[in-house]
Structure 1
Amino acid sequence: MAELALRLAGIEKPAFYQFHPVRGFSHRPGSKGLWNQEGHGWVSINKAGFRDSNHAALPPKGVLRVAVLGDSFSEAFQVNQNQTWWTQLQKHVNNNPDCTLISNYPKGVEVFNFGVGAYGTGQQLLTWRTDVRQSKPKLVLLAVFLGNDINDNTPAARNDRPVFYLDQNGELQINNDFRQSPASIFRNSLPGRSLNWFVEHSRLAQLLNEAKNRSANPTESNARSYQNGPPKVAPASPSGWALTEALIKQLNTEVTANRAKLVVVSLSSPEQVWPRRNQRPSQLFAKEKRLAALLQPLEISYMALAPAMQQQADQKGLILHGFGKAQGIGHWNINGHQLAATVLAQQICTDKQLIK
């Protein structure tokens, strides 16, 4: 009766994530529903297990295929798919007749999204290996959120994902002990797989699963707004920077071997585009400068969006992060996605070195 009542009322809380033996967790292929934990976005996961439409296995002739690797800013559950920065980027590029990026591609650009929430650069490297390279992109955009990505890359024991680290010789290594964690063992057991099936097919099971997740991961109070000042950002660890460099270097090697080009794109953090300028901390773009210095000797193209986004947001009076009463905090809202797409399209369309 409860199941029938939930279905008649149209209430569902789809589980968008599942266990993944290589990446720790991934999106659940075919899941769809409304995301309302922050913002309100209709989410649909494609058959490959990513927040995007379905695409052909190989790029059509005359099309430049671009793959996006990223975290929750690229997953972008907070807005509808047509409002995401990567969907709008495709439209901006294809509608620009002077864009040098597609000068040799008469059918324009096709952007694939492979962003998954909470992924660090290590899981993005693994996503490249398991899914992205098979789609044969010519350009790979690594969307870096400097607000937490460096710390996410800091080696630490985790029971939900693989952990990369540097050995005594400075070589990149991976620890897959998460596969032996109690949670992983349960998910692969008959009871765990049965529970997974119920969550996929039962509205009641979805509601109970949602309650469990909210209890384990309480969200920040919406009572806070930009009037209280920007959130404090933890300093990035030296080991996180060292591992980030090694991971990007390895990703670049593999992307180049696949006859594609890697471009690192850093996004904006809330404090960088904070609505009240006098409340912004000093040295807002120190991490961008350090990342640029790290990438230069590797000869990896780098595009920092935050400086241009800050300038345009100030000129137009835009709030780019946050929803409702939590203005300025959290992920990009519609304004943030729109401006990011505009700024990035301008940068990649005028960079003659991207596609030679």
Structure 2
Amino acid sequence: MARRLLIPLIFILFGILLAFGLLEIAVRVTGKTPPAGEPAFFWQDDARFGWFHAPGAEGYYFNPPGEYHAYARVNSAGLIDQDYTLKKPEGVYRILVLGDSFAEGLRVPMDAAFHSILEEKLKAMGKRVEVINGGVAGWGADQELLFYREIGRNYEPDMVLLAFFPGNDIMNNAIALESKNFGKVRKPYFLLEDGRLVLHNQPVGSEAGLGDETETTAPRLQLIPDHPPLAFLLPLLQRSAFYRYFIPRLRVIAPGLALKLAQWGLIEPGQETRIAEQGPDYIPLAYGVYKTPLDEPWREGWRITEALLAELKRDVEEDGAELRVVVIPAQLQVESAVWRHIMQTYPAMQQFDWDVDQPNRMLADILDRQYTPYLD
């Protein structure tokens, strides 16, 4: 009896191993092998801005699914760009780009970042132009204003082009939201006091208080055991190209299965685990910008944002330059399937009203009031 059962089991095991072997070969042969190890790190603490690029840092930046894998280098001034002289060459029109990770451009080769393409196209039209990339991941308009005052204006730009992402820039600009999202305050910030912007926590760490808590949410459920039973297999699995290619996609299409695998120790806990541990009422803070009506912390965030944009425009124009804004859309705004997936992932959101175009309309109203040209 045992012999009759053993032979089919051997064939089943052989079939599984053969299938995985073929998939492993397919991933490697087609060049879809995700990079192993950790991506390069380009940032360092900075007392003026919270964080900034480390001059001279270089390497490849990538994510586990292999969606992007690009080389980047930080120049001597801390910008992800070529080196520029502070003094503008005679006859050259200079554009300084400000923004967060969209402007920073680490997810694409340096010559494919939008500031590089803009410069290339303008030069093809016969213009003598330099487009300088001042983007830094995670920055809000508050840090961008400080950067312009400390560094950006020294490049003598003729135009400052602000790449504004409503999907998180409002949250970044409001310390009450920023600290709730990240915990400890890691940056300088502005508050509106008697209608005026007042700078706080610069140099960074000089003020204690708001946001100094390290835990940003209610106590979480513990869904992953301290010693998962099959965790000893993980180092071997992580050497597989197919495993590294497949698991990040599994987390998206079947988060429930991914959670089970994490509980067994066959994958590292990921987003599916963090979401499940928050409980059924969890709604990511960043989506509050789309809620209608807005909660008060978000209304205050918009008031601070309007004041920051007015201040930046004033500084830029006092220097003899002009401010322009390009509005960066969120994926959920252009792909309706993404928003539907979000609503399914966080069912507590279904009890509220949402408007994904609301941030763009509010930003447009601000820029119209300030007579700032923009592209959305």
> Normalising by structure 2, what TM-score?
0.60
Q: Post-superposition shift, 1:155?
A: 2.4
Given that 1:71 and 1:116 are in contact with CA atoms closer than 8 Å, whether structure 2 keeps it comes out as yes
Q: Match of 2:25?
A: none
The answer on 1:250 being equivalent to 2:311 is yes
Q: Match of 1:35?
A: 61
Q: Post-superposition shift, 1:152?
A: 1.2
Q: Is there any run of 5+ residues in structure 2 with no aligned partner, and where?
A: 1-35, 209-246, 256-282, 290-297, 344-353
The answer on 1:58 being equivalent to 2:95 is no
**Secondary structure in 1 aligned to 2:287?**
coil
The answer on 1:289 being equivalent to 2:361 is yes
Given that 1:137 and 1:260 are in contact with CA atoms closer than 8 Å, whether structure 2 keeps it comes out as yes
C-alpha distance after superposition, 1:182-226 (max 9, x if no partner)? 9xxxxxxxxxxxxxxxxxxxxxxxxxxxxxxxxxxxxx9553558
C-alpha distance after superposition, 1:68-95 (max 9, x if no partner)? 0000111121111011111111112222
Q: Match of 1:235?
A: 288
For the structure 1 residues 181 and 159, does the alpha-carbon distance in structure 2 shift closer, same or farther, using more than 3 Å as the test? farther
Structure 1 range deviating more: 27-36 or 150-159 = 150-159
Q: Post-superposition shift, 1:148?
A: 0.7
For the structure 1 residues 110 and 223, does the alpha-carbon distance in structure 2 shift closer, same or farther, using more than 3 Å as the test? farther
The answer on 1:134 being equivalent to 2:134 is no
For residues 119 and 24 of structure 1, what CA distance do their matches in structure 2 show? 9
- RMSD of aligned residue pairs (Cα, Å): 2.9
- The counterpart of 1:82, out of the listed 111, 126, 130, is 111
For the structure 1 residues 173 and 223, does the alpha-carbon distance in structure 2 shift closer, same or farther, using more than 3 Å as the test? farther
For the structure 1 residues 13 and 277, does the alpha-carbon distance in structure 2 shift closer, same or farther, using more than 3 Å as the test? closer
For residues 149 and 356 of structure 2, what CA distance do their matches in structure 1 show? 34
Q: Post-superposition shift, 1:284?
A: 3.7
Q: Post-superposition shift, 1:19?
A: 1.6
Q: Post-superposition shift, 1:286?
A: 2.3
Structure 1 range deviating more: 29-38 or 122-131 = 29-38
Higher normalized contact order (CA 8 Å, seq sep 6+, divided by chain length): 1
The answer on 1:223 being equivalent to 2:250 is yes
For residues 169 and 248 of structure 2, what CA distance do their matches in structure 1 show? 23
**Secondary structure in 1 aligned to 2:162?**
strand
**Secondary structure in 2 aligned to 1:52?**
coil
Q: Post-superposition shift, 1:108?
A: 2.6
Q: Post-superposition shift, 1:277?
A: 8.6
Given that 2:39 and 2:62 are in contact with CA atoms closer than 8 Å, whether structure 1 keeps it comes out as no
**Secondary structure in 1 aligned to 2:94?**
strand
Alignment of 1:148-163 (within 5 A): 148-156=168-176, 157=179, 158-163=184-189
For residues 53 and 361 of structure 2, what CA distance do their matches in structure 1 show? 33
Q: Match of 2:145?
A: 125
Q: Post-superposition shift, 1:279?
A: 4.3
C-alpha distance after superposition, 1:39-80 (max 9, x if no partner)? 211010001001111112222222210000000111121111
C-alpha distance after superposition, 1:252-286 (max 9, x if no partner)? 00000000000111112011222749949974432
Larger radius of gyration: 2
The size of the alignment, in residue pairs, is 246
2:53 partner amino acid: H
**Secondary structure in 2 aligned to 1:111?**
strand
For residues 120 and 253 of structure 2, what CA distance do their matches in structure 1 show? 31
For the structure 1 residues 126 and 28, does the alpha-carbon distance in structure 2 shift closer, same or farther, using more than 3 Å as the test? same
C-alpha distance after superposition, 1:13-54 (max 9, x if no partner)? 643111211111110001101112362110100010011111
1:146 partner amino acid: P
- The counterpart of 2:331, out of the listed 260, 270, 273, is 270
Q: Match of 2:77?
A: 48
Q: Is there any run of 5+ residues in structure 1 with no aligned partner, and where?
A: 1-9, 98-105, 183-219, 305-356
Q: Match of 2:121?
A: 92
Q: Match of 2:100?
A: 71
Given that 2:201 and 2:207 are in contact with CA atoms closer than 8 Å, whether structure 1 keeps it comes out as no
1:72 partner amino acid: S
For residues 277 and 71 of structure 1, what CA distance do their matches in structure 2 show? 22
1:234 partner amino acid: Y
Given that 1:155 and 1:163 are in contact with CA atoms closer than 8 Å, whether structure 2 keeps it comes out as yes
Given that 2:306 and 2:366 are in contact with CA atoms closer than 8 Å, whether structure 1 keeps it comes out as yes
For the structure 1 residues 62 and 159, does the alpha-carbon distance in structure 2 shift closer, same or farther, using more than 3 Å as the test? same
For residues 249 and 128 of structure 2, what CA distance do their matches in structure 1 show? 41
Q: Post-superposition shift, 1:12?
A: 8.2
Given that 1:165 and 1:172 are in contact with CA atoms closer than 8 Å, whether structure 2 keeps it comes out as yes
**Secondary structure in 2 aligned to 1:235?**
helix
